[in-house]
Structure 1
Amino acid sequence: MLKSDLKVPSSNSLSTFIPFLRTKDKHYKICWDTILGYFVHAAYNKSLLKIELDGFKDSCEQRFSEILDEPGFWSEIEAMYFEKEELFKISPELLMFKATKGEIDPNSEKLGDTLIELLNGFSLSSSQNSNLNILAKEIKANFDTFNDSTKVKQPVNKNKISYLPYLTSHFQQDLKFLNSRPNYLVTQFPAFIKLYSFLYVSQMALNIRDWKGGEPSHKPCFFIVDNERASRERTQVQRYGHAQLVEYLEYLFPYLVMNEALQDKGNTKPLWHLAKAIRDDKESLDDLNLFAQKFCDARSKYFLTPPPVEKQNDTDNAIEQMLKLSLRQFEKKNGTLKEYNQTAVKGVLNTICAPFIQKRGQAGQVLTFNQDYIVLLTNLAIGESEKLRLHELIKAFESRGIYFDKQSQQNLVNFYERMGIVERMSDSGDAVYVKKTV
């Protein structure tokens, strides 16, 4: 698992698990529409389109000129589907036109690659045309003529290990659920990728230090509904909400960079998997002990004070020492690279986390869900079932890394009742059912 020849990297760079995580402000200027189009090409296992939207429109005009008795009717079709966003409501796959080949900015591509890491080789089947009108069917059929030969050329790595297997499972399950409802998917796709971008990065941050425990599990991350009051007395929200997330984001870049430095390029496994694979291996222990001193010497200019390097007696401690050395470069009191890690943390907070953060007076910054996200999340959690008991629904939220305290749970019930999707079998809380809206 370790590189056969461990060398100290000349710079801190990251290309695995969260390739979006970088250390300059310019890297966080993104376009969510581009990210969506780029992700869609991978989700449907297609290559990026080479034809621009205008070229596709010309092709559709030609197609309709051959089948329409009144050529002038094309102007009506053009106004109906191409002058607004109606074209993208025909099929989720048409969203690929938001990211045609050669027109994708590097920052949006990196965030798209981060979502593809979570996809982990899973792909969706082509959306069905059965519910489309005759005009939409012709446009989709024309799109398919461009799309039929755009299968991804690179074989999927079946041996790749997700950093967060539990979240990958939910991601795949939720995508499959949405894909079976293409009209709903098209309307919710932008919110869906923002939601899972946040869940992936937040749960990675909350799990990154717990690598000795083996495969990760969902960690408490508390939210409130955006229309309820926050206060300092809500200890779970204060202790395990925004403040906790900011604290743990500090470890993401240093730890992932070191994890990558210890492994062969193209075959980087999660940190927790690496630790398990080399545990109690004498040769790996010797290599790590030797590498620690090499790393310390080579990166000495980035330490304000010389860090302690000791010979370790087991691989877990040796990995821990390497992670501390990597982190020390970026620490406020011990390293000269602190501004770079702070840029990465702020970049994540201002892009991926921004839709889920609000400032609430004396309570400070809190993590929130607005009602649109609550409805989407509820539908995803209920999935193919018709309804779930309230406590089952809360557990489904938590399994995705979304926690609500008792006050927020009651607020959710009130919201569901206003929507008319609550069934009460009795006055008991165990008999409260919530139905999905799709």
Structure 2
Amino acid sequence: MPELYKDYLNKQLREKKKHDVLLAMDVLPFLSKRTRALRGRFNKVLGEYIRKICDLELDSSALKSHEFFMSEEQNVFSEHIARSVEFDSDEEQYDFIRFLDQYLFNKEDIKLIHPFLFNLITVDKQNKNEFNKYGQFMKDTMLLNKEEVKGIFNQKESEDILTELILSQLDLLKDSPAKKREYKPLLKPLANLYQEDIIYLSKYKDYFLTSFPLLTHFYVFMYANQLVFKFEQYNEANYNELQPLYFSLEWESLSKRRKSASGDIDSFKYIKAKLDNLFPHIHTMSQLSHNAANVSENEIKNEETIDLLTYTEIYNLIQQGKLDERRFLVELKEWIHEYMAWRGNEYNSSSTTIREAFEELHDCLKLGMSSTVISKYGGNVEDLGANQFIKNRGSLGQVLNIKHDFLLLITAVSVKNERIPLNDLFIEFEKRGIALDRYSKKEVIKLFDKQNILDKKSDSGDAQYVKPIL
């Protein structure tokens, strides 16, 4: 029995004549054609995401009957709500409809006056496939226990009569069976923090409505950056902790000596330089996941979805004796030779260790792939952070960026209900993947001092505490 199912890999490659993750779960929702549709429009993904959490879908027949979005003076949905209210005159009804139009809609977008309304964020047909992938990805990787979060978005209770009236007339959704997991969750510590943070924010309804999209955007962006970093470490990557990356504050001046603008391993310049490796890494791990410790020959024959294993997980299987190291290395080297033969190149592997063979297979796959596809796929990381978490600093290039509203938000979820020492705040930032150099920390302290967020125990500034924001 083989350790690596290279005959299956060979057969699939020759039949499909293209690179494919085959039976393995996917890792990221990126498209190789890079539409840039997500740039500055991350909130449009949230409807697909929340409906998947709540096991709901938009009812197309109800949407057609309501003509939900209108470009005319009045919105038909506002008229639908008004029909459930008694008026003394047509003029009163007309005024109420106009009020609802202004209260509930911003041009074609629904205003999020209640968490349930996230379910009604729609997406145009052109981007439906891509945004649906993001919604599924976020549900699969960012929520390890969606039931804890589901209750935030699937109930219609409200403290005011108007919102209660609006929610009672929402018959635009129907139940949808939960889909099987399609994406492998690789960063459980990040997912746990995200879930903890949004549950905390949900206790503060008004702030939650404006901050939930931004917080979710950050965690998804950070997830992608962390994977780029981890994959470069091959089997030495530790997925149980994050690598803090240096950010700068949008309003501070920078020089090339600053951590966020350097090319060091913990800067965005390093991440950007490795984006072209992302697509080959995913395919390398997908191929390696077709091994005897992960999937049986019968499952291969039945073409059942299999777990995607990282380099670290595969190496651990070898260390645990679940894969024979010598045989696996021999078969992996043979597969590298066969792959290169498929590409029309005579090639003999020179690897003497598993780590070397991992790197060699990655490099060979990268050579055999379209450089355009590789570049466009990796470029999705930039699109994900554009206009919010990535800023172009002229000659310094792109850096990771923190805007004022996000600084307050990440501080709020880091501190929560009890004041904490200032140094502990920066530790909480780093747990979430954010590192600040000493200059940025001084700017944070200056801002917090102005906004009365700091609590000083002495005039010298020693033992400074950060107060809860919410």
Deviates more, 1:31-40 or 1:69-78: 69-78
CA-to-partner distance for each residue in 1:202-225, whole Å, 9 max, x for gaps?
111111133424534211310110
State the shift of 1:153 in Å: 3.2
Q: Is the 8 A contact 1:220 1:398 kept in 2?
A: yes
State the superposition RMSD in angstroms. 3.4
State the shift of 1:199 in Å: 0.5
Are residue 90 (structure 1) and residue 131 (structure 2) matched? no
Q: Is the 8 A contact 1:44 1:126 kept in 2?
A: no
Given candidates 164, 180, 187, the residue that maps to 1:137 is 164
Given candidates 270, 275, 286, the residue that maps to 2:327 is 286
State the shift of 1:151 in Å: 4.9
In 2 relative to 1, CA 412–370 (structure 1 residues): closer, same or farther, beyond 3 Å? same
Given candidates 360, 363, 366, the residue that maps to 2:399 is 366
Aligned mates of 1:300, 1:429 — CA distance in 2: 67
- 1:263-274 equivalences in 2 (<5 Å): 263=289, 266-271=305-310, 272-274=312-314
State the shift of 1:390 in Å: 1.1
Aligned mates of 2:393, 2:379 — CA distance in 1: 19
Paired residue secondary structure (1:267)? coil
Aligned mates of 2:168, 2:175 — CA distance in 1: 15
2:363 corresponds to: 327
Paired residue secondary structure (1:105)? helix
2:135 corresponds to: 112
Are residue 423 (structure 1) and residue 455 (structure 2) matched? yes
Deviates more, 1:402-411 or 1:119-128: 119-128
State the shift of 1:399 in Å: 0.4
- 1:393-412 equivalences in 2 (<5 Å): 393-412=425-444
State the shift of 1:187 in Å: 1.3
State the shift of 1:276 in Å: 1.9
State the shift of 1:270 in Å: 3.9
1:29 corresponds to: 37
2:298 corresponds to: none
Aligned mates of 1:346, 1:101 — CA distance in 2: 23
1:260 corresponds to: 286
Q: Is the 8 A contact 1:258 1:323 kept in 2?
A: no
Aligned mates of 1:67, 1:393 — CA distance in 2: 50
In 2 relative to 1, CA 117–104 (structure 1 residues): closer, same or farther, beyond 3 Å? same
State the shift of 1:109 in Å: 2.4
Aligned mates of 1:99, 1:285 — CA distance in 2: 53
1:344 corresponds to: 377
In 2 relative to 1, CA 276–354 (structure 1 residues): closer, same or farther, beyond 3 Å? farther
Aligned mates of 1:255, 1:355 — CA distance in 2: 27
Given candidates 132, 138, 150, the residue that maps to 2:175 is 150
CA-to-partner distance for each residue in 1:298-351, whole Å, 9 max, x for gaps?
344658x75541475xxxx43651443233343xxx566333322222332234
Aligned mates of 1:2, 1:404 — CA distance in 2: 45
2:19 corresponds to: 12
CA-to-partner distance for each residue in 1:259-317, whole Å, 9 max, x for gaps?
122336633234033332343334475255324423432344658x75541475xxxx4
1:174 corresponds to: 197
Given candidates 31, 36, 39, the residue that maps to 2:49 is 39
1:78 corresponds to: 100
CA-to-partner distance for each residue in 1:234-270, whole Å, 9 max, x for gaps?
2465122121111333332211112122336633234
Paired residue secondary structure (1:99)? coil
Aligned mates of 2:364, 2:399 — CA distance in 1: 28
Q: Is the 8 A contact 2:228 2:278 kept in 1?
A: yes
Are residue 192 (structure 1) and residue 215 (structure 2) matched? yes
1:229 corresponds to: 253
Aligned mates of 1:350, 1:101 — CA distance in 2: 19
Aligned mates of 2:115, 2:3 — CA distance in 1: 41
Q: Is the 8 A contact 1:49 1:150 kept in 2?
A: no
Aligned mates of 1:77, 1:3 — CA distance in 2: 65
In 2 relative to 1, CA 141–296 (structure 1 residues): closer, same or farther, beyond 3 Å? farther
Q: Is the 8 A contact 1:259 1:270 kept in 2?
A: yes
Q: Is the 8 A contact 1:2 1:262 kept in 2?
A: no
1:392 corresponds to: 424
Deviates more, 1:185-194 or 1:373-382: 185-194
Aligned mates of 1:152, 1:2 — CA distance in 2: 37
Q: Is the 8 A contact 2:79 2:97 kept in 1?
A: no
Q: Which amino acid aligns with 2:63?
A: E
Given candidates 63, 69, 86, the residue that maps to 1:68 is 86
Alignment coverage as a number of residue pairs: 424
State the shift of 1:63 in Å: 5.3
Paired residue secondary structure (2:391)? strand
In 2 relative to 1, CA 49–413 (structure 1 residues): closer, same or farther, beyond 3 Å? farther
Aligned mates of 1:386, 1:435 — CA distance in 2: 7
Given candidates 410, 414, 429, the residue that maps to 1:377 is 410
Q: Is the 8 A contact 2:78 2:100 kept in 1?
A: no
Aligned mates of 2:164, 2:181 — CA distance in 1: 31
Aligned mates of 2:405, 2:444 — CA distance in 1: 12
State the shift of 1:230 in Å: 0.9
Paired residue secondary structure (2:425)? helix
Paired residue secondary structure (1:326)? helix
Q: Which amino acid aligns with 2:29?
A: F
In 2 relative to 1, CA 415–43 (structure 1 residues): closer, same or farther, beyond 3 Å? farther
